[in-house]
């Protein structure tokens, strides 16, 4: 959920009233729908979808397919808009041009009533709002598709906080909309081969899991606590404190922060902030979260990132909105690390080999064909100076070019790619000459050598020894079970063979009897003609 520059960093109190007044106004993306607990629309969504896919649109519209899809999703409402945002990060599903069009989708919405918000808060904390909070501001700081944000002060410690309230009735709306998506996906897979190949139903299932997770503020509070622990004693990233005593499924209470939005470059320059250092630290945060912590903030766009400029020569990032986080398996970590190293070394054969051995593409894919396709996509990019190359975008090109080989990507890897694009984009915006690879290359090479050296492998073996011993202890039982199953299989095969022989015998006898009957009929017919 994008909360559009609404948070402030209480430790520094940098954001002035002037800055606050320039925050973007919340607006309705489309006038064709009204957001309320009832979530009504001007026409049924299935009708909107059918109108969109109908052949007459091909003749009446001069817009590009991506643009038409964007408008259709906007008409269908906020849940479909968020689905479009997800599609924009899936180059294995939609072509690059369509993904580019979908990236501009916005989900800013009108706020629901203050009375409703207060009722929800009081229900969740099980008491009157004045018992826990003072200086509660009934005017929301922001309103997005999932939740609405308010400011207040905790009575117990006088700490300024923000209160994130889930929209009333939104879960039912999401379930209804997702159910429609599933029907559309199933219909498309039955009618269109491409839809079947892209596994649209599986994609909708993935989306359902992500958006339902966003609804549970307890999960977000847990994500905040975990990230805060990961960066404890580290000055790269400040994570706001979350107050778990007041966090429920529909309510999140966390420290109010003040800071400079990361894209307010003029404000940062006025304060004398070292922008090069800020850009480089963004890359360091990304690498630490992905390869050291294996727990990364997967929604690091400008609306969720601020800069603590209390010390301009030692700036720190401040991140909010932890609804979406990602993690990788050890195998995925190793694969993405190898891939990044291979890409910068122009070792396109290695990139192709990684995609094939990880079973991301059709198993019958030719290594040379995939290598040449990736080379054709990437070589023109390397004609530019190194500081102008965006490696997140390059991964996007690689995935997009591999679509014709039935590329399939795990949601975690797509979240990673999206996060890399965001971090690198922010860095280039702050400091255009940012050389991502000069920071990432030594880190990744060191990480690979450290992670997979003999000492580390020995430690890994020790950590897993108990599990192996337990499996070894159970081996006789497993072996007995296997032998029993094999014996049953043999018995089944023998019985099946016996039934086969009996059937063939019956067929032989029946055939012989039919032959005798046929001969008798021929003789009778001959005798009848002769007489």
Q: Residue 247 corresponds to which tokens in the numbers above? A: 């966090």
Q: Is 400 tagged catalytic? A: no
Chain mean position to CA 26: 25
DSSP string, 52-116: HHSTHHHHH--S-HHHHHHHHHHHH-HHHHHHHHHHTT-TTTS-HHHHHHHTT-----PPPPHHH
The partner residues of 147 in beta bridges, in order of sequence, read: 166
The 8-class DSSP code of residue 161 comes to E
Please state, in angstroms and rounded to a whole number, the distance separating the CA atoms of residues 292 and 328. 11
Chain mean position to CA 476: 43
Q: Which strands form 260-261's sheet, in the order they lie side by side? A: 237-238, 316-319, 305-308, 260-261
Q: Which strands form 160-166's sheet, in the order they lie side by side? A: 133-143, 147-154, 160-166, 251-255
CA dihedral in degrees (484, 488, 493, 496; nearest 10)?
180
Residues 206 and 411: beta-carbon distance below 8 Å: yes
CA dihedral in degrees (418, 422, 425, 430; nearest 10)?
-170
Chain mean position to CA 383: 31
Among residues 299, 308, 400, 435, the one annotated as catalytic is 299
What amino acid positions are annotated as catalytic residues? 299
């Amino acid at each position: 959920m994008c909360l559009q520059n609404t948070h402030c960093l209480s430790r520094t109190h940098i954001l002035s009233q002037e800055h606050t007044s320039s925050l973007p106004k919340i607006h309705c993306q489309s006038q064709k729908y009204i957001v309320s607990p009832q979530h009504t629309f001007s026409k049924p969504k299935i009708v909107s979808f059918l109108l969109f896919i109908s052949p007459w649109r091909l003749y009446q519209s001069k817009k590009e397919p991506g643009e038409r899809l964007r408008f259709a999703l906007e008409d269908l409402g906020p849940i479909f808009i968020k689905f479009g945002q997800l599609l924009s990060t899936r180059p294995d599903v939609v072509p690059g041009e369509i993904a580019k069009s979908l990236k501009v989708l916005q989900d800013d919405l009108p706020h629901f009533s203050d009375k409703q918000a207060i009722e929800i808060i009081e229900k969740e904390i099980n008491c009157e709002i004045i018992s826990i909070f003072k200086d509660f501001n009934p005017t929301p700081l922001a309103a997005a598709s999932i939740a609405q944000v308010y400011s207040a002060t905790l009575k117990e410690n006088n700490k300024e906080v923000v209160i994130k309230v889930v929209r009333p009735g939104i879960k039912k709306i999401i379930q209804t909309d997702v159910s429609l998506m599933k029907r559309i996906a199933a219909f498309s897979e039955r009618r269109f081969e491409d839809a079947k190949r892209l596994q649209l139903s599986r994609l909708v299932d993935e989306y359902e899991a992500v958006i339902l997770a966003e609804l549970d503020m307890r999960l977000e509070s847990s994500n905040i606590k975990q990230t805060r622990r990961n960066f404890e004693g580290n000055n790269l990233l400040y994570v706001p404190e979350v107050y778990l005593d007041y966090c429920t499924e529909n309510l999140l209470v966390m420290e109010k922060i003040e800071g400079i939005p990361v894209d307010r470059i003029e404000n940062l320059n006025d304060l004398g902030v070292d922008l090069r250092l800020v850009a480089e630290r963004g890359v360091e945060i990304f690498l630490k979260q992905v390869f050291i912590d294996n727990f990364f903030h997967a929604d690091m766009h400008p609306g969720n990132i601020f800069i603590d400029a209390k010390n301009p020569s030692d700036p720190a990032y401040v991140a909010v909105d932890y609804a979406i986080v990602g993690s990788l398996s050890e195998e995925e970590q190793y694969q993405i690390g190898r891939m990044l190293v291979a890409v910068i070394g122009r070792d396109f054969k290695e990139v192709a080999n990684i995609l094939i051995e990880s079973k991301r593409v059709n198993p019958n894919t030719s290594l040379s064909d995939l290598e040449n396709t990736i080379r054709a996509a990437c070589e023109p990019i390397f004609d530019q100076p190194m500081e102008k190359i965006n490696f997140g975008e390059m991964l996007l090109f690689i995935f997009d070019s591999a679509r014709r080989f039935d590329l399939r990507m795990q949601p975690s890897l797509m979240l990673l790619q999206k996060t890399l694009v965001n971090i690198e984009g922010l860095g280039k915006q702050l400091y255009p000459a940012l050389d991502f690879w000069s920071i990432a290359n030594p880190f990744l090479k060191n990480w690979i050598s450290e992670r997979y050296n003999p000492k580390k492998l020995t430690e890994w073996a020790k950590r897993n020894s108990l599990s192996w011993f337990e499996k070894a202890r159970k081996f006789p039982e497993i072996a007995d079970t296997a032998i029993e199953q094999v014996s049953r299989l043999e018995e089944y095969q023998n019985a099946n063979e016996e039934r086969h022989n009996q059937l063939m015998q019956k067929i032989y006898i029946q055939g012989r009897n039919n032959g005798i009957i046929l001969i008798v009929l021929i003789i009778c017919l001959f005798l009848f003609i002769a007489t």
